[in-house]
Structure 1
Amino acid sequence: MRKVKKGLYTVVAGALAGMLMLSGCSKSETGAGNGEASEESSAPSIELNMTMMTESQNDTSEKEAWESIAQSYMDKNPGVTINMEVQNFGGVEQHRAWVTTQLIAGTAPDIFMTRRIWDHEDLNKGQLVDLTPYFKEPSAYLGDKSLEGTISPSVLAQLIGAQKQYASVPTYVDVVRVLYNKDLFTKAGIEKVPQTWNEFMDAQAKLKDSGVTPFAFPNSKPGDFNYSWTSRILTEELIANTYPELDVSGNGFIEINEYVRGVDQGLIDIEKSPYKDMFGIIKDWSQYWSKGYNGLDMNSSNDLFLRGEAAMIMRTSAQSKVMFESKARQFEMASFPLPYLTQDNHPDAAGKLMEIGGVPAGNLAIPATIPKEKLEAAIDFLRFTVSPEIQGSMADKLYRAPVTENADLPEKLAGFKFAGEQMKLNIYGGEVDKNVTENNQKLGQLFLDGKITQEKYISQLKKVMVDGVNKLMTTNDWNKENNYGITK
């Protein structure tokens, strides 16, 4: 039975619609779970309050899946009750505002969903539980392996911060792909999937000549993501050769304080090449987008694609779910990474695929304010979400790519396997600075419409970027003298 009260979904014992059929597991080493329901359990009753975030307001499958995961955990651990609130925050910036407010007020639930690039910022402020020791302990859910021994090394490398600490546990990875209509490609005479940017542009010219819209590119708001993804991917392909001078800590990723250092010292300057040259490349590509793209949202672009009026769209694996399952789709569909720039396009191009995907997502964190008697159960649940049963069910039901090493993807997600090199900077990502993300998209609309020049677009965006960096420096007491808080 499920009680519903003002948006709060409290999961209690009993069968839930769509409940995952998961096998039992042996006793958890934390003592929170014993793997088998026992009426004689003497363990004290524990209530965990959780808040999960969904990407869609209309698709209930994610809410139902998380409710089922919670129910399955409670079936194995009858001394634990999970009260789960499932929210849709409407965008990255709203989600970040909620996390910040809850942590500052001391009202954060015992487990909540955050993002990788926020977790260490909050950990460094003393607002989260340091999960580092718990990453090293074995768990029955993980076949007596630890989180460090289960989660993919590439994911772990992105999770561990400059202080070599873990602040959250991811439940899936995001991978972005271009979905395409194979029938329309064949009709247009496109014989192979494009890999380079020139091949991509040539294919779109053929599609346009065949009478269809090459690309349905939603750009009505920052939450349509396509403009942000494209800005980030193409920028990384142009600046990949400068990674060594930006990655001061040497951990393989440009952390927020390294981004701050780069902007403050002029190493990251979007008014200079190659940063500024990315915008012209996007504008040139826009000739192949659907008409009225600045007023087109995700759902409308989905419809164009499903009706066969547009040959391509760009989505994450989870966002592709509606495409794979839609009864309206009457064509064969496949996917490929956004093609990469070569030196034919720009002399600074790295000439290789840079992946915006493979990023830890659905990260679960525990606030430092959690009562001590709840901590073991909360840690136990986090480990449970990375178990083979849960990772497999999330891939199958939600099209979420697993975080575990050597995990097998369902056939429908075969095209979402990580294929390139990991992006490191995330310059226009909402997790870094939501104001930069919003202004990049909004100013980008004006630029694409010809209402402002590229120079004005970039100068205004740079001001927002510098203002944001100055605020981060003030808030965190970062400066050149203390190396912006970066440790090697």
Structure 2
Amino acid sequence: MKRNVLLSFTLLLAFVLVLSGCGGNNNESGSGNSKESSGSAAKGETKTIKIFQFKVEIAEALNRLKTDYEASHPGIKLDIQTVGGGSDYGAALKAKFASGEEPDIFNVGGQSDLDTWIDNVEDLSNEKWASDVIDVAKEPLTRDGKLYGQPMNIEGYGFIYNKDLFAKAGITEVPTTLSGLEDAAKKLQAAGITPFVNGYQELWVLGNHLLNVAFAHQQDPAGFVKGLNDGTASIADNEVFSNWVKLFDLTLKYSNKNPLTTDYNTEMAMFAGGEAAITQQGNWTQTMIDGVNPNLNLGIMPMPISDDSKENDTIYVGVPNYWVVNKNSPVKAEAKEFLNWLATTPEGQKYITEDFKFIPAFKNITTTSDVLGDLGSSVLEYSQQGKTLGWYFNNYPDGAFNEFGSQMQAYIAGNTDAAGLLKNLQQTWDNLKAK
């Protein structure tokens, strides 16, 4: 079965979460392969590390980290800027470089992003934390045997659902088929509960995460991507994509009003406020939801595209992003020290697990379900059971997800039909793929 391609990930993730945390108390700093500057500024000198990152969910926690890090590293200042949520991080990052205001540390998403930034990023293969990265998290940022990024974390997404609202509507089992999902939506509606809140103003919700469902359910997802690039595969006449449109339609049929003008923050505020029972997101939203209502009883459930319950009883798990170091940074040694502190010290690891509520992508960092919260625990449970599929949007041609998202918005608006949508997605891939 195609989910077996992630078996190594599942085993490694389970391994991560039962390890005792050996190696996590190493407090040395700096690069693991040289005697570069320790990263602490010379006496009387202040150095600033400019960090440009996209995860709005951890922005508040990063401000606390900034205070702690600066207190323990005299002469070092962190200038942290967050651009994400409803903003185009990739475009903003390119603008930073074009203006000459290059960050010292920034985020890269995966294979296609590495293609874009390979000339700007430092080889981090010999940093102390590199040997502890789980194998599945290394591959997307490895090129010619060199590791260019530190994985932020492991994340999973599907449909987040409010268990108490499900119970109120008389739903006793989590749906794992498309017809079962519609039955649940009907029960929610009958109980006066809006089934879905859809943040379809956001291109990434559509063009990355929702569209990935169709890629992940291919018999050979990587082979399908290769086929799109060499012209031997097609979105337009693919049965899985046709089934995927039925899921898309179902979310629209039982949606909140005006999904095209519902942004990420509104989506999460509505869901956390109990205004809808289901939303398409992942465990990264735990801190946002807790900020509104920390007492919600939550879970993550599948996004089924057919009535094959076994085939659809999965969620989507991967590495969302990587920290990379600008190889031309004037504070490159200090930037490396910061990443070493984050991954190898008890203080940094506490931020990863407890403050960010991340599932760590390192063998030497442990966490527990009570720290992760409901959503992280749900991702962990699916992963340990081998019920995961991958993330393939990092294999899209550069800039494609924006185009895909826009075309999906046009479909929502009624400007094209299902056949037209799939044809447009195919045309976008053909136009943007590397020639």
* Residues 1:111 and 2:93 are matched in the alignment: no
For the pair shown, the structure with the greater C-alpha radius of gyration is 1
CA displacement 1:279-313 (0-9 Å, x = unmatched): 23321442222233233233333343344332112
Residue type of the alignment partner of 1:28: S
* Residues 1:393 and 2:374 are matched in the alignment: no
* 1:391/1:180 CA distance change after superposition, 3 Å: same
Q: In structure 1, the residue corresponding to 2:210 is in which secondary structure?
A: helix
* 1:46/1:111 CA distance change after superposition, 3 Å: farther
The answer as to whether partners of 1:220 and 1:294 remain within 8 angstroms in 2 is yes
Residue type of the alignment partner of 2:136: S
The answer as to whether partners of 1:271 and 1:458 remain within 8 angstroms in 2 is yes
CA distance in 2, matches of 1:392, 1:174: 17
CA distance in 2, matches of 1:132, 1:227: 32
* 1:105/1:227 CA distance change after superposition, 3 Å: closer
**Residue 446 (structure 1) aligned to one of 401, 410, 432:** 410
1:156, CA displacement in angstroms?
2.3
1:386, CA displacement in angstroms?
1.4
Q: In structure 1, the residue corresponding to 2:343 is in which secondary structure?
A: coil
**Residue 332 (structure 2) aligned to one of 375, 378, 390:** 375
CA displacement 1:398-428 (0-9 Å, x = unmatched): 33332223621415132232523341532xx
The answer as to whether partners of 2:287 and 2:357 remain within 8 angstroms in 1 is yes
CA distance in 1, matches of 2:65, 2:302: 33
* Residues 1:190 and 2:150 are matched in the alignment: no
CA distance in 1, matches of 2:222, 2:278: 35
CA displacement 1:224-259 (0-9 Å, x = unmatched): x1564222123321x1x224635xxxxxxxxxxxx4
Residue type of the alignment partner of 1:100: K
Partner residue of 1:351?
311
Gaps of 5+ in 2: 1-23
Q: In structure 2, the residue corresponding to 1:272 is in which secondary structure?
A: coil
1:178, CA displacement in angstroms?
2.7
1:204, CA displacement in angstroms?
1.7
Partner residue of 1:17?
none
CA distance in 1, matches of 2:42, 2:416: 69
1:271, CA displacement in angstroms?
0.8
* 1:43/1:231 CA distance change after superposition, 3 Å: same
CA distance in 2, matches of 1:29, 1:302: 39
* Residues 1:403 and 2:361 are matched in the alignment: yes
Q: In structure 1, the residue corresponding to 2:89 is in which secondary structure?
A: helix
1:102, CA displacement in angstroms?
4.4
* 1:154/1:290 CA distance change after superposition, 3 Å: same
* Residues 1:220 and 2:176 are matched in the alignment: no
* Residues 1:130 and 2:102 are matched in the alignment: no
* Residues 1:262 and 2:227 are matched in the alignment: yes
What percentage of aligned pairs have identical amino acids? 17
Q: In structure 2, the residue corresponding to 1:286 is in which secondary structure?
A: helix
Please show how residues 326-341 of structure 1 align to structure 2 within 5 Å.
326-327=292-293, 332-341=296-305
Deviates more, 1:298-307 or 1:457-466: 298-307
* 1:295/1:243 CA distance change after superposition, 3 Å: closer
* 1:32/1:63 CA distance change after superposition, 3 Å: farther
**Residue 312 (structure 1) aligned to one of 273, 278, 291:** 278
Partner residue of 1:174?
155
* 1:86/1:274 CA distance change after superposition, 3 Å: same
Q: In structure 2, the residue corresponding to 1:351 is in which secondary structure?
A: helix
CA distance in 2, matches of 1:432, 1:400: 25
CA distance in 1, matches of 2:195, 2:97: 45
The answer as to whether partners of 1:49 and 1:84 remain within 8 angstroms in 2 is yes
Q: In structure 1, the residue corresponding to 2:161 is in which secondary structure?
A: strand
With a CA cutoff of 8 Å and minimum separation of 6, indicate the structure with the bigger relative contact order.
2
If the length of structure 2 is used for normalisation, what is the TM-score?
0.78
**Residue 414 (structure 1) aligned to one of 377, 392, 397:** 377
**Residue 84 (structure 1) aligned to one of 79, 82, 85:** 79
If the length of structure 1 is used for normalisation, what is the TM-score?
0.70
Residue type of the alignment partner of 1:296: T
Higher helix share: 2
* 1:242/1:197 CA distance change after superposition, 3 Å: same
The answer as to whether partners of 1:111 and 1:364 remain within 8 angstroms in 2 is yes
Residue type of the alignment partner of 2:360: P
Partner residue of 1:96?
90
CA displacement 1:366-408 (0-9 Å, x = unmatched): 223234xx43332222111113432332332233332223621
Q: In structure 2, the residue corresponding to 1:172 is in which secondary structure?
A: coil
The answer as to whether partners of 1:356 and 1:423 remain within 8 angstroms in 2 is yes
CA displacement 1:155-178 (0-9 Å, x = unmatched): 2234324x2221111233332243
Deviates more, 1:151-160 or 1:349-358: 349-358
* Residues 1:229 and 2:209 are matched in the alignment: yes
The answer as to whether partners of 1:221 and 1:442 remain within 8 angstroms in 2 is no
* Residues 1:66 and 2:44 are matched in the alignment: no
Q: In structure 1, the residue corresponding to 2:103 is in which secondary structure?
A: coil
Residue type of the alignment partner of 1:423: G
Partner residue of 2:28?
27
* 1:148/1:199 CA distance change after superposition, 3 Å: farther
The answer as to whether partners of 1:172 and 1:403 remain within 8 angstroms in 2 is yes
The answer as to whether partners of 2:52 and 2:103 remain within 8 angstroms in 1 is no
CA displacement 1:410-448 (0-9 Å, x = unmatched): 15132232523341532xx6x834653233333323323
The answer as to whether partners of 1:360 and 1:403 remain within 8 angstroms in 2 is no
* 1:229/1:449 CA distance change after superposition, 3 Å: same
> Aligned pair count?
398
The answer as to whether partners of 1:216 and 1:290 remain within 8 angstroms in 2 is yes
Q: In structure 1, the residue corresponding to 2:378 is in which secondary structure?
A: helix
Partner residue of 1:12?
none
Residue type of the alignment partner of 1:380: E
Residue type of the alignment partner of 2:121: L
CA distance in 1, matches of 2:221, 2:281: 27
Partner residue of 2:5?
none
Residue type of the alignment partner of 1:120: L
* 1:244/1:49 CA distance change after superposition, 3 Å: closer
The answer as to whether partners of 1:103 and 1:367 remain within 8 angstroms in 2 is no
Residue type of the alignment partner of 2:418: Q
CA distance in 2, matches of 1:445, 1:266: 26
